[in-house]
Amino acid sequence: MTGILAVDGLTITAADGTPVLTDVSCRLRAGVRLAVVGQSGAGKTTLALAALGVLRPGLRLVTGTVRLTGHDVFSHTEKARRRLRRQSTAWLGQDPAATLTPTMPVARQIAELLDDPSDDEITERLRSAMLPTDPEFQRRLPGQLSGGQQRRVALARAMAGRPRLVVLDEPTAGLDPVTSHAIMAELDRLHNEFGFALLVVTHDPVLAERCDEQLVLGPQPRSHVAAQEEPPTAPAPSPPVAPSTPRQGRDAATLSAPPGAALRVDNLHAAYGARATLHGVSFDARRGECVAIVGTSGSGKSTLARTVAGLHPPSGGRIEVNGDDAAPLARDRTREQRAAVQLIPQDPYGALHPRRSALASVIRPIRVLHNETRHAAAAIATELLDRVGIDAALSRRRPDEMSGGQRQRVVIARALAARPTVLICDEITSALDATVAGSVMETIARLRAELDLTVLFITHEMDLVRRIGDRVVVIDDGRVREYGTVTDIFTAPRHPATASLLNAVRAPSARSSTPLGAQS
Q: What is the DSSP string of 217-284?
A: -SSS-EEEEEE--SPPPPPPPPPPPPSSPPP-TT-SGGGSPPTT-SEEEEEEEEEETTEEEEEEEEEE
Q: What is the residue type of 62?
A: V
Q: Is residue 219 located within the same domain as residue 287? A: no
Q: 231 pLDDT exceeds 50?
A: no
Question: Are residues 190 and 274 located together in one domain of the fold?
Answer: no
Q: What is the rounded distance in angstroms from the CA atom of residue 515 to the CA atom of residue 145?
A: 40
Across 307-332, average pLDDT: 95
Reported in sequence order, the residue ranges of 323-440 that DSSP labels E, i.e. its strands, are 324-325, 341-344, 422-426
How far from 58 is each of 398, 399, 505, CA to CA, in Å?
A: 10, 11, 39
The answer on 272 and 209 residing in a single domain is no
* Residue 243 pLDDT level (bands cut at 50, 70, 90): very low
405 three-state secondary structure: helix
Residue 120 and residue 66 share a domain: yes
154-168, 303-317, 332-346: the lowest-pLDDT one: 154-168
Instruction: Specify the CATH number for the domain of residue 42.
Output: 3.40.50.300
pLDDT for res 237: 45
Examine the domain organization and report whether 285 and 419 are in the same domain: yes
Is position 235 within any domain?
Answer: no
Contacts of 402 (CB under 8 A, 6+ apart): 358, 394, 410
**Across all residues in the chain, what is the average pLDDT?**
84
The confidence score (pLDDT) of residue 22 equals: 94
Residues 287 and 204 in one domain: no
Do the domain assignments include residue 12?
yes
For residues 246 and 212, what is the distance between their CA atoms, to the nearest angstrom?
A: 43
More confident residue, 496 or 183: 496
Most confident of the ranges 47-51, 168-172, 178-182: 47-51
Residues shown for the chain: 520
Is residue 331 domain-shared with residue 439, that is, in the same domain? yes
Residue 180, domain member (yes or no): yes
Asked whether residue 104 falls in the same domain as residue 175, the answer is yes
**According to the model, what pLDDT value does residue 293 have?**
96
The bridge status of strand 263-272 relative to strand 314-321 is antiparallel
The mean-pLDDT minimum among 12-16, 173-177, 369-373, 382-386 falls in: 173-177
User: Average pLDDT in the 280-308 region?
Assistant: 93
How confident is the model at residue 400, as a pLDDT? 84
Residue with the larger pLDDT of the pair 443 and 154: 154
Residue 202 lies in a domain: yes
Structure confidence at residue 292 as a pLDDT band (50, 70, 90): very high
For the ranges 295-304, 472-481, 492-501, the one whose mean pLDDT is highest? 472-481
Per residue in 102-133, pLDDT tens?
899 999 999 988 877 889 989 988 887 778 99
Give the burial string for 168-186 (b: 16+ CB within 10 Å, else e).
Answer: bbbbbbbbbbbbbbbbbeb
Beta-bridge partners for 325: 320
pLDDT at 236 (0 to 100): 43
- pLDDT above 60 for 244: no
Q: How many domains does the chain have?
A: 2
Does 231 reside within a domain?
Answer: no
Residue 315 confidence (pLDDT):
95
Q: Are residues 313 and 439 in the same domain?
A: yes
Residue 244 lies in a domain: no
- Are 176 and 307 contained in the same domain? no
**CA-CA distance, 2 to 5, in Å (whole number)?**
9
- Contact (Cβ atoms closer than 8 angstroms) between residue 344 and residue 426: yes
How far is residue 475 from each of residues 153, 182, 358, 464, measured CA to CA in Å?
Answer: 22, 19, 34, 17
Residues 180 and 41 in one domain: yes
Q: 359: closest CA among 425, 419, 409?
A: 409
With CA atoms as reference, report the closest residue to 490 among 477, 479, 474: 474
Distance CA(170)–CA(429), nearest Å, equals 12
Binned at pLDDT 50, 70 and 90, residue 256 comes out as: very low
How confident is the model over 326-344, as a mean pLDDT?
A: 93
- What does the pLDDT read at residue 1? 53
Give 369-408 pLDDT, tens digit per residue: 888 999 999 999 999 999 888 999 999 999 988 877 788 8
- The residue among 298 and 411 whose pLDDT is bigger is 411
Q: Is 35 helix (H, G, I), strand (E, B) or coil?
A: strand
Residue 519 has pLDDT above 50, yes or no: no
pLDDT in tens, 73-100: 999 999 999 999 988 999 988 777 778 9
Whether residue 203 is contained in a domain is answered as: yes
Domain extent, residue 119, equals 3-225
Same domain? 184 vs 267: no
User: For residue 308, is it within any domain?
Assistant: yes
Q: Residue 253 — very low, low, confident or very high, per pLDDT cuts 50/70/90?
A: very low
Using the 3D structure, point to which of 199, 225, 251 is the last residue of a domain. Answer: 225
pLDDT at 508 over 60: no
Assign 66 to helix, strand or coil. strand
Q: Which of 225, 253, 287 is where one domain is finished?
A: 225
